[in-house]
Amino acid sequence: MKLANWFRRKKLETGLERELRYHLDRRISDLERSGLPTGEARRTAMLEFGGFTQIQEEVRDIWLARWLRDFLYDVRFSARSFLRNPSFTITAVLSLMLGIGATTAIYSLVDQVLLHALPVHQPERLVLIDWKGDQVANGFGSWNLMSYPICRDLDQQKQVFDGVFCRALTTINLSSGGDYRAATAEIVSGNYFSVLGVGPALGQVLTSDDDAKPNTNAVAVISYDFWKTQLGGASDVVGRKVLVNHHPLTVIGVAAATFRGIDVGEVPSLWIPASMSTAIIPGLKDLHDRRTRWMQVLGRLPQGMTLRKAQAGLQPWFKAMLKEDMRRAGFPVITPERLQTYLNSSLVLTAAPQGHSGLRRRLLEPLWVLFALTVVLLGLACLNVSGLFLARGSARDREVGTRLALGASRGRLGRQLLADSLLIGLAGGVLGTAAAPLAVQALIAFLPRDNAGTALRASIDSRLLLFALAASVTAGILSGLAPAWQSGRRSLVSSLRERGGTALGGVRLRKAIVTAQVALTLTLLAGATLFIRTLDALMEKGPGFVTSGLVSFGIDCQRSGYSEEQGNQVIRRIDEAIRHSAIVQSSAVARFALLTGGSWNNPMTILAGKRFSTEGRDINLNAVTPGFFQTMGIRIIAGRNFDERDISAPGESGWRSAIVNEAFVKRYLGGRNPLGVRICQGSGPDARPNVEIVGVMSDISYRGLRERSEQAYFPLGGEGAATFYVRVRGKPESSFQSLREIVRGIDPTLPLNNLRTVDQQVDRSLNTEHMLASLTGSFSALALLLSLVGLYGVMSFVVTQRTREIGIRLALGATRGTAIWLVLRDALVMLLIGIGIGVPFVLALGRLVESQLYDVKPSDPAVIAIAVLLLFSAGLGAALIPAHRASSVNPTEALRFE
């Protein structure tokens, strides 16, 4: 009745309004009749009555208070009945705990990585500005790169932006007095903090003045975390000097505590004005070069400006700038087609309230996939609890029937059910949320420690709590839906008349629930099979070289204050020392590390009979010492390895020779002898193909295990930075100390970056695949468990209910086999229908995850067959137990029981 009040609230409200109105109108007309003027009468009546809305409020409070009191009473009643039935309660609460815990844990990552807006002033007005087309510039860095001068130009477009800043992440060699270590820094334009609206926690932040003249303002702002953890939160930190790549910078302030940069996966230790970047970043020659794109550009839109309007407002200026830029000195000679692409370029704005992040880009799809799967898991858990409620409901059928007969309203019973399910939902939610931080911790462990490990947190904040609460309430209500529907259909007479328990409808509903569980479980199982096959195939394929016993680390001399030439000498000395070490089998040096996700790449021009370029498609490039192929176990298929013939004479620029991989030959030189063909970097008319192909190597993975790319290798020249690949004797990890000592013997301040085994590097490059495979694997195991429990439960119930019937059949001469078949048939029907519903789901959902897969199609019959077979056999196994019980029914006892 009172529950009904709640849902019929609107009707109640209008009733109350009418009632009070009636009173007032009557009073006014009575007063008028007694001689008061109209206005006076109205005033008097209102005065006598008291506040109209106040009265309405009071009455509403009475409705609500009553409803709440009754509801609390119901909750107490539910709690008591749960405590009386602990096995039911534990199973139900555990089911929901698993579902809610998993969903909340994944949501925590979804929220942190994908959804959370930056803690800056009005983040919703931030946009990322990106160049669509061709910038005719060399890029270094990750994505959405533009040049520093373009950022300055954009900042002048005051009609469109409240401000535009640029930033680039860089790894630096940082010392704050003690040892040297690699750290992340953000190179930023001077207005970075003011456009974001971030202030200092101590001292001051960077301003445009700090960025005005090149290499004059040797200052930095440090992050709050760096200040607290590395500098002990010293109060006199402002004015201290830190060494960045061996350049002293003065700390002018500490950024606000909540601010951790604009990239969720890369938390910078400090911010450096862009004006200092040519001094600090090796290889960056001219900050104002428009042909070097290396920074992300973000802007703040004014209040009321839309993305579309801003984008349109930029185009006139942008088109003029393109033309002007073309006439500038240093604009390269390019083909007419490329020039056309350049002139057709446009600027694209996208909303960037969460900043810019490579981690988000990588995890976007995997995280949504996992979130969707946990929601399915939670749905399964709800179905499980529904089934349990129905089972308990049929046990309590007579109690409910009696209550109905004694005059309890159906609404009242419905509210009791609501209290039941909410209580279970909340209990599951509380436990699930308590377990969530552990789960998040485990999730974060899947990601590379150096970025995600420091940036992501396994703590519970208010947003997460809100999510968990919403999930618990929804789960509770969903779990209660089927029982509520069932109780609504129950007829009073039949439930009182029945002796054995429930009406047949209860069993039918429970069977429907188990069928739905089977379908959902199949989806999860198939998903897990796909991801496990993917990981398996990638591991099986491997990177194309022998990883065991291989150790790698990077050395960057220029970040330690060496000139390029000095750096090359240092690297040669280290290479020498390592090769003479007793623990080393062989070793080699490469300019760029493999399997890190990045590469040196460029289009190339090829002279093979005719001249053509790989325009639009970059070749992955590297430079290596002659020992590289042998150390890595890469086969030279044709031609020869590098030797002294390939070393450029002093003063000679460029390379003499190159070794390309099979994929290169296949794509560009199909059928022709690759040896002797001449190639070079670049695709413009001015490119001179004068590097001779002297060898062909087998294909290896460069950026990651998935790719198959065209590659070209040159003899190592130098640039003062390199990655060492060392094949060691014995356990690779035990060589770390010796390797460190070798480097320390040459220069004690030179840090070894990313010292790890190549096997570890392979694992790191497969971290999303690992995460997807293990999580979907465990989710589907849980799902399978939940639906087996459901199947077992309903089959046992059926057997109990049909004991008499089975007894009679056995007494009339049916065999034990018939009895088993009687039960198994039911289970088979549920399994088959569930699988029948599930397979189209698998096919439809599989398409959504296709880009995450490798060497397996979502519609692969083998995958679906494995999932179906697993589910089917496990399901039959679960049904066999009650079936066996049915077959061992003793006819005499079953009949006597009646």
Partner 1 sequence: MTSRFPIPQGTLDMLILQIVSLEPIHGYGIAQRLEQISRSVVQVNQGSLYPALHRLEQKGWLKAEWKQSETGREAKFYSLTACGRTQLVAEKESWARLAGAVRLIFNEGTRS
Which residues here bind partner 1, judged by CB under 8 A?
Answer: 2, 15-16, 18-20, 22-23, 25-27, 47-52, 54-55, 58-59, 61-63, 66
Residue 503's closest CA among 514, 515, 512, 492? 492
Q: Please calculate the CA angle 504-506-508 and round it to the nearest 5 degrees.
A: 75
Amino acid sitting at position 216: T
As measured in angstroms, the least distance from the Cβ of 76 to partner 1 is 20
Give least dist CB 411 to partner 1, A: 14
Take residue 296 and report the two structure tokens written for it: 């992300």
Nearer to partner 1, 58 or 893 (CB): 58
Task: Select from 694, 590, 691 the least CA-distant residue to 637.
Answer: 694
Question: For residues 733 and 757, is the Cβ–Cβ distance under 8 A?
Answer: yes
The nearer residue to partner 1, 22 or 897, going by C-beta atoms, is: 22
Nearer to partner 1, 5 or 602 (CB): 5
Q: Which is nearer to partner 1, 29 or 800 (CB)?
A: 29
Query: What CA–CA distance (Å, rounded) separates 324 from 319?
Result: 9
Taking the C-alpha atoms of residue 267 and residue 213, their distance in angstroms, rounded to an integer, is 27
Which residue, 48 or 124, has its beta carbon nearer to partner 1?
Answer: 48
* 232 alpha-carbon distance from chain centroid: 33
Q: Which is nearer to partner 1, 61 or 124 (CB)?
A: 61
SS3 814: coil
Least separation in angstroms between CB 68 and partner 1: 12
Q: Which lies closer to partner 1 via its Cβ, residue 62 or residue 492?
A: 62
DSSP string for 570-586: HHHHHHHHHHTSTTEEE
User: At closest approach, how far in Å is the CB of 56 from partner 1?
Assistant: 9
Tokens 């040669």 appear where?
572
If the CB atoms of residues 52 and 897 are measured against partner 1, the closer one turns out to be 52
Name the minimum Å distance from CB 49 to partner 1: 5
DSSP string, 388-423: HHHHHHHHTHHHHHHHHHTT--HHHHHHHHHHHHHH
Element spanning 753, H or E: strand 753-757
| Of 628, 601, 631, 630, nearest in space to 617 by CA | 601
CB 783 within 8 A of CB 380: yes
Question: Shortest CA distance to 171 belongs to which of 754, 758, 562?
Answer: 754
51 or 233: whose CB is closer to partner 1? 51
- Cβ closest to partner 1, residue 403 vs residue 756: 403
Cβ-Cβ contacts under 8 Å for 155 (sequence gap 6 or more): 161, 163, 164, 165, 189, 191, 299
| CB of residue 476 to partner 1, shortest distance in Å | 27
CA distances from 517 to 662, 678, 734 (A): 49, 63, 50
Integer Cα distance of 102 and 371 in angstroms = 9
Q: How far is the CB of 61 from partner 1 (least distance, A)?
A: 8
Residue 222, phi then psi, degrees to nearest 5: -100, 155
| 8-state DSSP, 295 | B
Nearer to partner 1, 59 or 435 (CB): 59
What is the rounded distance in angstroms from the CA atom of residue 491 to the CA atom of residue 495? 6
Paired residues of 31 in beta bridges = none
Q: Check if the beta carbon of residue 544 is closer than 8 Å to that of residue 711.
A: no
Smallest separation (angstroms) from partner 1 to the CB of 37: 20
Nearest approach, Cβ of residue 73 and partner 1 (Å)? 14
- Measured CA distances, 408 to 69, 74, 405, 411, 415 (Å): 17, 13, 7, 8, 11
What's the rounded Cα separation, in Å, for the pair 249 and 749? 18
Encoding tokens for residue 195? 């456009």
Q: Give the nearer residue to partner 1 in terms of CB position, either 20 or 257.
A: 20
Min dist. Cβ of residue 19 to partner 1 (A): 5
Nearer to partner 1, 67 or 485 (CB): 67
Report, in Å, the least distance between residue 43 CB and partner 1: 12
Nearest CA-CA partner of 355 in 150, 106, 120, 147: 120
How near is the Cβ of 227 to partner 1 at its closest, in Å? 59
| Cα 646 off chain centre by | 46
Cβ–Cβ under 8 Å, residues 713 and 624: yes
Q: Which is nearer to partner 1, 14 or 315 (CB)?
A: 14
Q: How far is the CB of 413 from partner 1 (least distance, A)?
A: 18
328 C-beta neighbours (distance < 10 Å), count: 9
Report, in Å, the least distance between residue 20 CB and partner 1.
6
